[in-house]
Amino acid sequence: MEAEGRDGRDDRRGRPGAIPDGALVVGGRRMIFDVKLIRFCQTRYRPSHRVADARGGMLEHRAALVPEEYLAAARALDARTREWYAGRGETVPVGQPTAEDILASLPLDGLVFGSTAGGGRRSVGTLAVHAASSAAQRQWRTLGASSFAAARGHIIGIFRQQLGFAAAIAHARLRLSRLELIGHSGRVAGRHAHMAAAAAMLSPTVWEAHGPRGAR
């Protein structure tokens, strides 16, 4: 899960834009998904009274920005492509699809998890229901369930628990990765933010292997 910076900006400073986290077939349509994990800050949780007062408003607000970010990244890529051809004294081949064209052909959704809502925004629940329905359709007899509906309800409950647990673990690992910043100057935090895309200063693996026994 990608974490948002304190000022609301994405911490993936070293990565190019428009890289989805997954592609799935949902309801017969192929969709691409970008997973976001927002931290509790004014920019994300209270950008306006309307967002702050709505149930899950901060998650829906962040998700609404994802298509705009991908569109901006696609247009920037198309501009670099035109510059590359121009540098060779050529023009972009007629009929060649642009990054914006390709993006427009794929439905995009942002799966956003917040600091307090472990289950994520509404579309996360919808995706869990689709996955549970597909699993129940194939396995409800193998599971020993009395019906497809019974198996579906059981699997949905398990999926929601797993999603909430995964979100909580992601938040905990994010905090652990920044423990060494406590008490340091803003310059140290700035350097850490610049290197965050490469590796965390305290990785989950290192913490689990060498951390205090009480944290395991």
pLDDT band at 3 (very low <50, low <70, confident <90, very high): very low
* Strand residue runs (E) in the chain: 2-3, 22-26, 29-37, 108-113
pLDDT band at 4 (very low <50, low <70, confident <90, very high): very low
Q: Does the predicted model carry a pTM greater than 0.75?
A: no
Give the other-Cβ count within 10 Å of 81's Cβ: 14
Cα separation, 92 vs 193, in Å, equals 37
Predicted confidence at residue 8, as pLDDT, reads: 44
161-170 pLDDT, tens per residue?
888 888 778 7
DSSP state of 27: T
pLDDT band at 188 (very low <50, low <70, confident <90, very high): low
- Name the one residue in this structure whose structure tokens are 């540098």: 87
Predicted confidence at residue 147, as pLDDT, reads: 92
- Name the one residue in this structure whose structure tokens are 């956003």: 112
pLDDT band at 148 (very low <50, low <70, confident <90, very high): very high
Mean pLDDT of 19-33: 83
Cα separation, 23 vs 33, in Å, equals 6
pLDDT band at 195 (very low <50, low <70, confident <90, very high): low
33-90 pLDDT, tens per residue?
888 877 776 677 777 777 777 777 788 888 888 888 899 999 999 999 999 999 999 9
Predicted confidence at residue 162, as pLDDT, reads: 84
Helix (H, G, I), strand (E, B) or coil at 108: strand
Torsion of CA 96, 107, 130, 110, to 10 degrees: 120
Predicted confidence at residue 196, as pLDDT, reads: 53
Whole-angstrom CA distances from 167 to 39, 107, 196 are 12, 24, 19
What is the percent of the chain with per-residue pLDDT over 90, rounded to a whole number? 11
Lowest mean pLDDT among 52-66, 136-150, 200-214: 200-214
Greater pLDDT, 35 or 7: 35
